[in-house]
Structure formats: structure tokens, C-alpha cells
Amino acid sequence: MGNRGFKLFSFLVLFLTFSCASLSTRGDSRLPEVQASLLKEKISNGRLQQIFVKFPLKSKKDWVSAYETGDLTIQAEWNQKIIPFFIDQQDNDGIVFRGLLGIPYREPVGPKKISVQIEFDGYQWEQHLMFEVFEGKYKAEKLRVAPRKIKPNPSDEKRIEKEYLETRKIYQTRTPIKYWKGPFRLPIRSGVTSPYGTKRLYNKSFSGYHSGLDLRARTGAPIRAPESGKVVLAKPLFFTGGTVILDHGYGLFTVYAHLSKITVELNQILKKGDRIGLAGATGRVTGPHLHWGMTVQQAKINPLEMTKKGIR
């Protein structure tokens, strides 16, 4: 096939893909005129994308109850991940469902496609939304830490693997409760000592990126829940030392690391401002501080994304 022929072929594939997506809605009076949209058409790696699905006013009451009984399901799919939706707001225009999506730090740049899928009464409706990922501006730094924390011995490796699988399983959970209400607070009111996303070179050999935000904190300083959530992990881990993970619902989690003391228990429900523990220097660290991380649909994003004004 020549270049021209290939272009035509690509166009046809693209055309068919998108036209098929909307065909299922035509002539089907049971499904509403749903509008799906994204918060950002262009977004960098490490940031928060939001997906909105709006149902018109005339059917408001029906759709809420259908959603609550499970007759109506809404989800989005991206990179083999399923994004759950919650009721965002109801006003005079209609009812809006919303889902959160974290853009992974290592996500390749370029155009991306999200599939939004709605099912009701045996009918399926699908729409594709496009957005573009560009590379965020993140700095680089060099660090020196204890060699054992970089080249772990075999028994360390076993522990690391076990803890990796345990936390991965937690982050795959989709709790259908929206614990948070508004913008997140900082877990300790202090300065940022290392921002999210910094490219890191440990002892000139091992490289990674800073998957969270470091806040200045002396050993013993109280760390508080930035929003409501459920304690889903509370114990020491190899790399992160004294660690607490909070599940805020719908695939959104926060992590608190290097704690000298944990003052919460597994499955405890915390309110915004409740104490989680005390800051420290446990795990792979160069000194006492709080490492604060945020995971959204298994992607570690900048926790400041949820502290912004207007976030709900």
C-alpha cells in the first residue's frame, strides 16, 4: 500500500472507530443524550485528569436511582485500567457523574484515547474522548543513601517483593465510597523540601523519580489526614519506613512515609485533620521529613493536584 493509500486506510479506520462509537445511541430512545467530556485536553505526566458524564435534567431522578441500584453502570477504560464514576453534582442542567484518572509519570507523550462505557437495561453506549500527554518540567537531583537500601541483600529482596505486591493490591481496590469532600489540606503545615517528579540518581548508579512530595518535618511532629479516608495499611515497610496508606474511595489513595510512630489502626476511618502518626526518618531517607504520596487509578501523581481550590 502506498503512502496515499495508507493515509486513506488510516482515515477509514479512524472514521469507522468513531462512527461505531456513536451509532449505538442512534435510534435508541431509552438512552439519554449523554455528554462525556474531559477536564483537560492537554495534560502533563504526573497530573490529575477528570472525566465528566452528564445526563440531561428531564431524566435526573431516574438516573440517580438507576445508578444507586446498579441498573445503570458508568465506567471509563484507559490503558487496561477501569475508572469508576461517582455522582458529582446535580443542578438545574442535569446530573453529572465524574471519574478521576492519574497520568503516570512514565506515560509516553502523545495523543491518548479514553473509552467511556455506559450500560443500562441491556443497552450499551460508548464514546471515545481524546487528550494529549506532554512532558512535565521536572528537575533532576543526586542523592547518597546507605548502600543496603540500593543493593538489597536476598532477604531484603524477598521483603521488598512482598511489600510491593501488598501495596499494588491495595492500589487496585476501587472502594465505592467518596470519603473526601473538598480540597485536601497539607498533612503538615510546612515547606516543601523536595517536589514531586524530581528525577533522582541514587549513589550515582540507581535512578528513579520522586513519586511524592517531601515536607519539612522534625522527628515527632504530628501528621494529620488531609481529608477523610480509611486506613488500609499501617506498618513499617522496607523503603518507606513507618507507613500509613489512606483509601479515600474510587481509586484515590494517599501515603505517609518515614513515620517514627503510627497512631492509627488498620480499617480505622479518619476525618479530615485526625492524627495519623508522628514524622520521622525511618526507611530510605537522608534525614527526618514527611514523604506524602498520592495514587489515582494506580498512577502516582503530584499530591498537590488534590489541594487546589475548587477540587471536590
| Residues binding Zn ion: number (CB under 5 A) | 3
User: Strand order of the sheet with strand 94-102?
Assistant: 35-38, 48-56, 94-102, 86-91
Least distance (Å) between residue 95 CB and Zn ion: 39
Which of the ranges 59-67, 104-112, 208-216, 294-302 carries the binding residues for Zn ion, by CB under 5 A?
208-216
- Is the CB of 54 or the CB of 284 nearer to Zn ion? 284
Which is closer to Zn ion, CB of 125 or CB of 292?
A: 292
- β-strand pairing of 81-84 with 229-237: unpaired
Q: Which three cell numbers stand for residue 187?
A: 498533612
**Nearest residue relative to Zn ion (C-beta):** 291
Stretch that binds Zn ion, among 40-48, 101-109, 214-222, 230-238 (CB under 5 A): 214-222
Task: Pick between residue 31 and residue 285 the one whose CB is nearest to Zn ion.
Answer: 285
Which residues are within 8 A (CB) of 169 and not within 5 positions of it... i.e. 6 or more apart?
none
Nearer to Zn ion, 63 or 239 (CB): 239
8-state DSSP, 231: E
Which of 112, 230, 248, 291 is in the footprint of Zn ion by CB under 5 A?
291
Write out the three cell numbers for 191.
515547606
- In the chain, which residue ranges form alpha helices assigned H by DSSP? 3-23, 60-69, 154-171
Q: Which of 214, 227, 247, 305 binds Zn ion (CB under 5 A)?
A: 214
Tell me which stretch binds Zn ion (CB under 5 A): 65-73, 178-186, 259-267, 291-299. 291-299
Q: Which is nearer to Zn ion, 113 or 139 (CB)?
A: 139
Residue 125's contacts (CB-CB under 8 Å, 6 or more residues apart) are 24, 25, 28, 31, 34, 117, 118, 119
- Under 8 Å between Cβ of 113 and 129: yes
Q: Residue 214 or residue 227: which is nearer to Zn ion going by CB?
A: 214
Task: Choose the stretch contacting Zn ion; rule: CB under 5 A; options: 197-205, 213-221, 228-236, 247-255.
Answer: 213-221
> How does DSSP classify residue 238?
T
Residues making contact with Zn ion (CB under 5 A) = 212, 214, 291
